[in-house]
Amino acid sequence: MSAEPPTPRTAGPRTAGPEKVVVVGHGMVGHRLVEALLARPGTASDGTAAGRDITVLSQEPHRAYDRVALSATFDGAGAESLRLPQLDESRIDLRLGVSAASVDRAARAVLTSDGERISYDQLVLATGSYPFVPPVPGHDAAGCFVYRTLDDLAAINEAARSALATAPHRPAGVVIGGGLLGLEAANALRLLGLAPHIVEMAPHLMAVQLDEGGGALLGGLVAGLGVTVHCGTGTARVLTSASAAGGPAPARDGAGRVTGVELADGTVLPASVVVFATGVRPRDQLARDMGLDIGPRGGVLVNEACQSVSDPRVWAVGEVACVDGAVYGLVAPGYAMAETVADRLAGGAAVFPGADMSTKLKLLGVDVASFGDAHGRTPGALSVVLNDPVRRAYGKLVVSDDAATLLGGILVGDAGRYPMLRALVGSPLPADPSVLLAPEGAGASSADAGTGLAALPDSAQVCSCNAVSKGDLLTAISSGAATDVPGLKACTRAGTGCGSCVPALRQLLAVAGVAQSTALCEHFAASRAELFEITRGAGIRTFSELVTRYGRGRGCDICKPAVASILASLHTGDHILDGERGALQDTNDRHLANMQRYGTYSVVPRIPGGEITPAKLMVIARVAEDFGLYTKITGGQRIDLLGARLEQLPLIWKRLTDAGFESGHAYGKALRTVKSCVGSTWCRYGVQDSVGLAIELELRYRGLRSPHKLKGGVSGCARECAEARSKDFGVIATENGWNLYVGGNGGFRPRHAELLVSDVPTGELIMIIDRFLMFYIRTADRLQRTAAWIEAMDGGLDHLRDVIVNDSLGICADLEAAMARHITDYADEWQAVLADPARLARFASFVNAPAAPDPAISFTAERGQKVPVSLGGYPPIPADSPGPMGFSSQAPASG
């Protein structure tokens, strides 16, 4: 039976008398607004002080309650304890369980869900947000919940109790979303007695607020509390009693009861309860239906007075308001909006002052804080990191490019310094950032651990993060307490902070005559170079075989990508995503794209030597326009296309490969670019064809995997316009041939390349570069750049010259043969993906809804192009906010 539209009980234009204010929504902000209105003298429509006629419509059947403290109900707090301060209900008309169904703006009247028509002079929308649920199959089955209201929590409670009563073992609950709300929900499931899991698509928890280091520590701490965390993977579907793992998707959503969750990587998590904590969206349907202007990412578009830009009699506050293009997922900005509107309705001129989006909270008993420009978005921002796994604390300070001003930071595990640091944001730094981050008692100066270590007095501080002196370290070594770097770390804490003193620890051990372990990690006793030879010699093709035969355990984040790189260098014909190799790769390689902010990806086609035809430029331009991508010319003379969603990558690459483009390997530890100047073809000073050589070299080494990223450059004369000496291999033209320089690096410790050979003809030059690169790939440490590799080599550059120019070890033929194999086997990685449905399946945000975009990603405009604004976890980031958004410690729970 279809419902009849309710018949209005009263109708007609409003009559003169006290000003009529209708507030739609009795959440935290609606409540605060009414409180603020009641505290101010009213203004009648005829201008006299005559009180105010306030009607409040509350869809929820409860009086406003403290949503921020909602989870406390699982800690034993009763719902009554969440009640907000009692309003004087004799002065308002509060309708519980009654919602605004529609608004007739012309007649200035609200039609309620129970059929009443209420006229207004001023209408305030305070309808908050609704939880977003991704459209994965089974998302609406019995046993799936969101986490927003008292009723939601009561339903979760009920489902958990019934699962506990019937399951033979401890039942599990899966929370989808690893943001703040997801962690709260996981804790709730834990308190209810379920075994909690968190599934998070980003590589780490709380990706909106934390960086990789903070997220990794948080993940470890949370795991230690019994929550199983699955990061870097999406949800394929919710399994129900009407579907089965591996079987067909449920015939229709909602069929059956939840039995588990199938992840994008195929893992099946049996579960009785599933909670979606995948972000919120402004609840603006009523406003849309009224014809009000809506913000780009939803929310009622209001001015600085929180007044709708479309109708001066309509106001919006809290999570449903979009002020200056930003929607706020915190209660404190909502309260500020409520005060602004109350003041305006009383004839004042208040404006919304903006909001401090800093976050500090204890999740599952773990301290987490994020403040200011925590992700270092300010141009030129520098970061100082203290990662102390011994104390289980992570801290990062972001400072201005001149290191004079604190811009923001992240603290995980110990947020004791949060109040002091947050207060310092924007102010001159009172001390060295490492001192501000160091644990109590750490010294204020830092020693130069990199050079002249032997000459330093024993009192010199080697580890400034943990105030460990050279004398302390030497004592630990000479007493036998420490015989290696981990030992020194364990007994002195040196090296457990930012880690920059670890090379100094090694040097000190060497100075003291202690032999050093070169083990790759705890799973392999061999160094990377030794593993390369083992893999090569034994003809090993998989990580499993290598770790079973020559290592132990199941591997880690250090050895897996290192072995993946070795296998890629040795078995050049295999695709890096095939078989178990796909799982070894780090995030970027896994998706053949660099993951950028907020889960967007970049696309970087190869433009050999930086030379490109107008037709190809037009292809890039059209692709960028069609997919709405941000475009930027890189320092390596190619074009970055940024802002792609995961599921768009194959579509974009199809267009590019059809036009003859190939992967630029911007995501891999591999050859990136060979930069060139225009050379003798165009330049009056050029003595050689630098563009031709750069293209030849880039095509020769494209796809070459290495311990670190590799770059080259070719300059057509000594003026060096290609900046070739800042590259791993740089070639500069001479009247007689080419000079080859090696070991130049940009990055944290920039280095100029040094001259290896001079005036060599092109053929010889290429042969030497072949040998140089292969020797580096075989013998460098993991993540060791060419400069550090040469520096660490016994005999340095002279030895290198002996090996690869004079063939002192007799290995050059082998090195050349290896490079020849690479060149023959090279195939474009993206083309290979596009040709194979199994490989293509990796590129979906939601596995069973491959066309569905990741709703977590949204954009705003900057200088005529789009830029991403939020990871879409909870809560969203305002477009203009330099800092992260989150639940604010400044947010008072109640008025």
Ligand X SMILES: Cc1cc2nc3c(=O)[nH]c(=O)nc-3n(C[C@H](O)[C@H](O)[C@H](O)COP(=O)(O)OP(=O)(O)OC[C@H]3O[C@@H](n4cnc5c(N)ncnc54)[C@H](O)[C@@H]3O)c2cc1C
Output 368 or 449, the one with its CB closest to ligand X: 368
Q: Establish if 209 lies at the interface with ligand X (CB under 6 A).
A: no
Q: Residue 77 Cβ, how far from ligand X at the closest point, in Å? A: 13
Residues 27, 495, 712, 737: which binds ligand X (CB under 6 A)? 27
Output 319 or 432, the one with its CB closest to ligand X: 319
Tell which positions 176-205 bind ligand X, by CB under 6 A.
181, 184
Q: Establish if 787 lies at the interface with ligand X (CB under 6 A).
A: no
Contact call for residues 476 and 495 (beta carbons, < 8 A): no
- Order across the sheet with 754-760: list the strands: 671-676, 710-715, 729-734, 737-742, 754-760
- Cα-Cα end-to-end distance for the chain: 45
Distance CA 161, CA 188 (A): 13
Q: Establish if 415 lies at the interface with ligand X (CB under 6 A).
A: no
Q: Residue 153 Cβ, how far from ligand X at the closest point, in Å? A: 8
Q: Is 705 helix (H, G, I), strand (E, B) or coil?
A: strand
In the stretch 250-289, what mask flags binding to ligand X with x, by CB under 6 A?
A: ---------------------------------x--x---
Output 327 or 641, the one with its CB closest to ligand X: 327
Q: Which of 275, 62, 94 is nearest to 178 (CA)?
A: 275
Q: Is 752 helix (H, G, I), strand (E, B) or coil?
A: coil
Q: Residue 193 Cβ, how far from ligand X at the closest point, in Å? A: 19
594-595 and 601-603 beta bridge pairing? antiparallel
β partners of residue 866: 861
Q: Residue 213 Cβ, how far from ligand X at the closest point, in Å? A: 23
Residues 147, 543, 830, 846: which binds ligand X (CB under 6 A)? 147
Residues 18, 21, 22, 24: which binds ligand X (CB under 6 A)? 24
Residues 71, 278, 469, 602: which binds ligand X (CB under 6 A)? 71
Q: Is 590 helix (H, G, I), strand (E, B) or coil?
A: helix
Closest-CB residue for ligand X?
Answer: 27
What is the phi/psi pair of residue 419, to 5°?
-60, -45
Q: Establish if 60 lies at the interface with ligand X (CB under 6 A).
A: yes
Scan for tokens 């998302």, then name that residue. Answer: 139
Output 80 or 440, the one with its CB closest to ligand X: 80
Distance CA 825, CA 817 (A): 12
Contact call for residues 198 and 183 (beta carbons, < 8 A): yes
In a 13 Å sphere around the CA of 270, the CA atoms on its Cβ side amount to 5
CA distances from 95 to 241, 321, 827 (A): 40, 22, 68
Stretch that binds ligand X, among 323-331, 558-566, 690-698, 805-813 (CB under 6 A): 323-331
Stretch that binds ligand X, among 58-66, 470-478, 680-688, 748-756 (CB under 6 A): 58-66
Stretch that binds ligand X, among 652-660, 703-711, 840-848, 884-892 (CB under 6 A): 884-892
Tell which positions 148-167 bind ligand X, by CB under 6 A.
148
Contact call for residues 221 and 362 (beta carbons, < 8 A): no
CA distances from 67 to 31, 803, 893 (A): 12, 69, 8
Q: Establish if 128 lies at the interface with ligand X (CB under 6 A).
A: yes
Tell which positions 421-480 bind ligand X, by CB under 6 A.
none
**Cα dihedral sign, 509-512-513-514:** negative
Distance CA 388, CA 437 (A): 11
Output 148 or 528, the one with its CB closest to ligand X: 148
Q: Which of 456, 791, 850 is nearest to 651 (CA)?
A: 850
What is the phi/psi pair of residue 216, to 5°?
-65, -45
Q: What is the DSSP string of 374-386?
A: TT--STT-EEEEE
Give the number of residues in contact with ligand X, rule: CB under 6 A: 37
**Cα dihedral sign, 564-569-573-575:** positive
In the stretch 524-553, what mask flags binding to ligand X with x, by CB under 6 A?
A: ------------------------------
Q: Establish if 884 lies at the interface with ligand X (CB under 6 A).
A: no
Tell which positions 324-353 bind ligand X, by CB under 6 A.
329-332, 334
Q: Establish if 409 lies at the interface with ligand X (CB under 6 A).
A: no
Q: Establish if 127 lies at the interface with ligand X (CB under 6 A).
A: yes
Stretch that binds ligand X, among 19-27, 170-178, 260-268, 483-491 (CB under 6 A): 19-27
Q: Establish if 522 lies at the interface with ligand X (CB under 6 A).
A: no
Q: Establish if 418 lies at the interface with ligand X (CB under 6 A).
A: no
Interacting residues toward ligand X by CB under 6 A? 24-30, 57-60, 67-68, 70-71, 99-100, 126-129, 147-148, 181, 184, 283, 286, 318-319, 329-332, 334, 887-888, 891
